Structure 1
């Protein structure tokens, strides 16, 4: 199955998106609904809340008096932390039960209002953020929910800002226009990305590279790589030794193929094999037919690696898993850092890539393109090594 995280600020229209996705067939796990369920009358959750905050948080019928509880915790970080420590584990446990019960081919959408604030983005193969301007959100909260304006503004101010949400978002849904516009965007997300993404993960099928076409530098590449690297690191767990953004998109200002190259370091390829399924479930199936990289200079013994690629049709990713300190691991970081530092080398490399594109840009799998650029790397290696020696370079993940 595919698990997608859905979030957005209060009043952004997140619930509208969730309902639309359910109409298409998504399995919804709504954290707000579960947060109410786990403290319903007779539950262990309600008993723990009463033990922590006293019987004053109950109404006349013995149910949780939410306004009374909110008055206790809203302005008290310590009280809010105690409440979260009770409710959040119960919600996580119930969420896991619902996910386990979902069909094997399900698209599970987890609606989590505080996904960003809770640092949970890296735990999902895809994160969808619903956005609306703060003033529009205030209007909705006041007019549609009857919330006092001061309370609405305070709730918005207490949540993550747009910058943090953008950093977490694989998909950014604007909800400031007509309802039909949002519906169309959700429909396109479902059919064009979520459904094929789920099938690719389930079938262990990475997205294949297409023709090698260069595009102008995208200022979003670095943020995308950081988000994807966090996802890879979370999947690798203790076996991972850091994730680096490599390749041409890792060189600011350099035109490149619109593919994010990542390198995951491990102590051994046995560790790489041990995390194969975890990487697949995170959205990066392995391509087992590729078990080495071309050594430099050409003709040397191949450099062993494990190669994974994204199952997400909306974001091509090449993920190379290499032993830390191995020649292939070092080479990827060396050339990235040299090209970052040397404008002449960047211009020279770009000219080679432009020529490769002119000759083989229509090659459906890009192999001939890559073969054309190999001699340049062979010839440039001594200069890269000389640069590294001159500045006492050492490999860095940044």
Structure 2
């Protein structure tokens, strides 16, 4: 299933977005609702809270008096830790139960007010942030929820900043506009990105865009970091390191709008153990690419041995953010060249200009061809040039194979 994280500041309009998603068929898991369910009268959660904080946290009817609990639970770090140790496992267990009941082809939207604050974004396939100016949010809290202004400002100040949310956002839904505008944006998102993403995830298909060179996007670096965070969760200890490589990792360089990421592993047997975990995270395997093209190495006849250039390749199932994930063994010539080539381009303006011209020629060679033919034509031009610069790049970094 496709797992979507939904969040935004207080008063941003998450409920409006959630309703629109449910109308289109999403399964909604609301963390606020779950947080109330697990401490309802008669639950083990409420019993544990009263044992920890006393019966003073109960209303006359035996239900939880939330302001009374807050007064006790947030007075110091120890009390807050006690509260979290009781409620967080219960919320997690109930959330897991709800996920287990969802259909295999479901698009599950998890509404989590503190998704950014609790560092949950890497556990989602995609994160939607509802964005509204802070002053608008404050006004909404005052007018529609009856919250005193000082309290509204204090609550918003205690949450993540706009910049922190932007850093976590795969999709930023602007809710500053007229009525109905954000719902229209949600419907477009559902049709153009979420439904195809889920279908690709279920079928195990990676997005493979046609080779087309675009001007550099200053958002590439931040987008890469979001994907790297997901890959770290999926790969766990198998990943020695994860790097943003390729043209999109070089500031100011025109490139295909496809991120290249490299997971360095101890060996490719380890890479195979995380194949399914990467697919579930949104990066299915592309099995036909099992090695890089060997680069010519004068004086080293073994350099053309394909086994030295073996790798695994995965791709993003998200049509809104194409990416390739290369898994290479630590110390292999392909792993070292990927890093050395990136650093060479970052440091050398002439190299960037030369590579830009090569890429434009490659894209021209691929223009008008069908998908696989276009890719082959594009790579043929680039690989010839890679061969010609391999010695320069390798010597510069001292990684020439021995």
Query: What TM-score, normalized to structure 1?
Result: 0.95
State the partner residue of 1:319: 325
Instruction: Describe how 1:334-349 pairs up with structure 2 within 5 A.
Output: 334-349=340-355
76-85 or 200-209, which moves further after superposition? 76-85
CA distance in 1, matches of 2:76, 2:133: 27
State the partner residue of 2:396: 387
CA distance in 2, matches of 1:255, 1:354: 9
Deviation of 1:75 after TM superposition, in Å, equals 5.2
Tell me if the contact between 1:263 and 1:322 (Cα under 8 Å) persists in the aligned partners: yes
Instruction: Pick one of 368, 372, 378 that aligns with 2:381.
Output: 372
Matched, 1:330 2:336: yes
Residue-by-residue CA offset, 1:220-272 (whole Å, 9 max, x unaligned): 00000011011011101121111100110011110100000000111121111
Instruction: Describe how 1:111-150 pairs up with structure 2 within 5 A.
Output: 111-150=111-150
Tell me if the contact between 2:314 and 2:325 (Cα under 8 Å) persists in the aligned partners: yes
Instruction: Describe how 1:271-350 pairs up with structure 2 within 5 A.
Output: 271-297=270-296, 300-302=304-306, 303-350=309-356
**DSSP-derived class of the 2:359 partner:** helix
CA distance in 2, matches of 1:118, 1:305: 35
CA distance in 1, matches of 2:320, 2:39: 39
Matched, 1:172 2:172: yes
Residue-by-residue CA offset, 1:360-397 (whole Å, 9 max, x unaligned): 233343220111111211111121123224xx99xxxx
Instruction: Describe how 1:59-98 pairs up with structure 2 within 5 A.
Output: 59-74=59-74, 76-98=76-98
CA distance in 2, matches of 1:125, 1:236: 14
Tell me if the contact between 1:204 and 1:285 (Cα under 8 Å) persists in the aligned partners: yes
How many aligned residue pairs are there? 390
Deviation of 1:67 after TM superposition, in Å, equals 1.6
CA distance in 2, matches of 1:125, 1:168: 12
Deviation of 1:47 after TM superposition, in Å, equals 1.2
Tell me if the contact between 1:363 and 1:369 (Cα under 8 Å) persists in the aligned partners: no
CA distance in 2, matches of 1:190, 1:382: 48
**DSSP-derived class of the 2:327 partner:** strand
CA RMSD of aligned residues (A): 1.6
CA distance in 2, matches of 1:265, 1:198: 28
CA distance in 2, matches of 1:191, 1:250: 30
Query: What TM-score, normalized to structure 2?
Result: 0.94
Deviation of 1:356 after TM superposition, in Å, equals 1.9
CA distance in 1, matches of 2:332, 2:395: 19
**DSSP-derived class of the 1:34 partner:** helix
Deviation of 1:208 after TM superposition, in Å, equals 2.0
CA distance in 2, matches of 1:8, 1:175: 10
Tell me if the contact between 2:41 and 2:64 (Cα under 8 Å) persists in the aligned partners: yes
Tell me if the contact between 1:7 and 1:128 (Cα under 8 Å) persists in the aligned partners: yes
Q: List runs of 5+ in structure 1 lacking aligned partners.
A: 394-398
State the partner residue of 2:255: 256
Tell me if the contact between 2:9 and 2:156 (Cα under 8 Å) persists in the aligned partners: yes
State the partner residue of 2:265: 266
Q: List runs of 5+ in structure 2 lacking aligned partners.
A: 298-302
CA distance in 2, matches of 1:28, 1:285: 25
Tell me if the contact between 2:329 and 2:335 (Cα under 8 Å) persists in the aligned partners: yes
Deviation of 1:74 after TM superposition, in Å, equals 4.3
CA distance in 1, matches of 2:395, 2:350: 15
State the partner residue of 1:223: 222
**DSSP-derived class of the 2:304 partner:** coil
